[in-house]
Structure 1
Amino acid sequence: MTRYDPHDKVWSPPMPFLFQRQNGTVPAVFNIGTIQKMIERRCLALAEVHPGFKGLKFTPHDFRRIFITELVNSGLPIHIGAALLGHLNVQTTRGYVAVFDEDVIRHYLEHLEHRRQIRPTDEYRDTTSDEWTEFEEHFDRRKVELGSCGRPYGTPCQHEHACIRCPMLHVNPKMLTRLAELEADLLNRRTRAEAEGKAGETEGIDLTLTFLRAKREETQRRARRPAVDLGIPKPRTDPSTRETL
């Protein structure tokens, strides 16, 4: 079944939409306004039995947030939740998920522990000096002017170092003033390109400005979050010798 998007002015590909109805002999998707009115009527009915629902207003998008929150609270790693929602950046998913940072870390550690248990034991070996050097160099190459690149280990840059447009760029909050300088430069270039009738250049600059402003908002939001106390790791001991490793 397909659905017309009034915002993008396009028809969606065939998808298993949740709210469907029969329009004569043709199946159709419920209008968003209709769904919202159905939810409002249900909240009014629930408020008579559960006063906590009185005055609450839900939107269809709220159920998307509830869905991913339940999954992550049940132990699903948040990066898999990001893939389910179609988010390019896991930080966007964190804005959806109503969990504390400690819960996110706990779920991630549980996922790692599970993966370690099912991994063949012969794969656990000491790294060679060349492998360790290569590993360190990977993280050195991820350091860029505006912050750090979050691309996975062993993968090259897929965006030809166009960092502002890259979803893997994590901007350092200390570089917010640099973003303001880049924005001012892009606006000057856009004015010049528009005056010279360079429509393609103007369109490219507008796209870059969109990414830049989104990264600035995301960085400001991260800067306002409290730091998570991970504690001090305890040294491991060898059970056979009782010596600290």
Structure 2
Amino acid sequence: MVSPELADVLSRMVTRVRGANGVVPLVSADDQGERVWNPPLPLLFQWSSAGQNRPVSAQTIRKGLGETPAASGLTDAAVNPLNYQPHDFRRIFVTDAILSCLPPHIAQVICAHKSIATTMGYKAIYPTEAIEAHRAFFARRRALRPGEEYRIPTSEEWDSFLGP
């Protein structure tokens, strides 16, 4: 449910961190906002140091996000160097996923948002575009399924469904 470009990036990240057994190692990371240690997770931003897998620190990620656009020469329309924050990529993911027809409520679950409004606020598209993408997703799904699955239920079937 993501664009081919995002799938390629994610695939490269998984390949880079995958262990000898083919699995992404589980590492614990500090949640700076909650001030707790998260349970071990298959983090994509990790590296091996002294034989142990450790999460890449938020400081290292921020530093890389500052240096990479400048080194690449990428600029905005006003010819200013691009400036990214880690959270920007969460927004990019949600936008890309919804435009690639991932239903918004699934993006909500992936991002662990309590409200669909938060998820929809992350995406950089208008709600009508999200609705059309969602409808296109269902149209493609229905085209792949047998037509009899989409028939109107009989009165008996409906009554049986509703129960006594």
TM-score (norm 2): 0.68
RMSD of aligned residue pairs (Cα, Å): 2.7
> 1:11-90 residue pairs with structure 2 within 5 A?
11-47=37-73, 50-52=74-76, 54-90=80-116
Q: Determine the C-alpha separation between the residues in 2 that align with 1:43 and 1:18.
A: 21
TM superposition shift of 1:6: 3.0
TM superposition shift of 1:27: 1.6
Aligned CA distance change for structure 1 residues 124 and 46 (closer, same or farther; 3 Å)? same
Q: What's the % identity of the aligned pairs?
A: 29
Name structure 2 gaps, 5 residues minimum.
1-26
TM superposition shift of 1:12: 0.8
> What is the SS of the residue equivalent to 2:92?
helix
Query: 8 Å contact 1:2–1:15 — kept in the other structure?
Result: yes
Aligned CA distance change for structure 1 residues 91 and 119 (closer, same or farther; 3 Å)? farther
Q: Deviations over 1:151-181 (max 9, x none)?
A: xxxxxxxxxxxxxxxxxxxxxxxxxxxxxxx
Name structure 1 gaps, 5 residues minimum.
136-245
TM-score (norm 1): 0.47
> 1:1-245 residue pairs with structure 2 within 5 A?
1-47=27-73, 50-52=74-76, 54-117=80-143, 118=145, 121=148, 124-125=151-152, 128=155
Query: 8 Å contact 2:75–2:82 — kept in the other structure?
Result: no
Structure number, greater radius of gyration:
1
TM superposition shift of 1:37: 0.7
> What is the SS of the residue equivalent to 2:83?
coil
> What is the SS of the residue equivalent to 1:51?
coil
Question: How many residues of Structure 1 are paired with residues of Structure 2 in the alignment?
Answer: 132
> What is the SS of the residue equivalent to 1:21?
strand
Query: 8 Å contact 1:43–1:54 — kept in the other structure?
Result: no
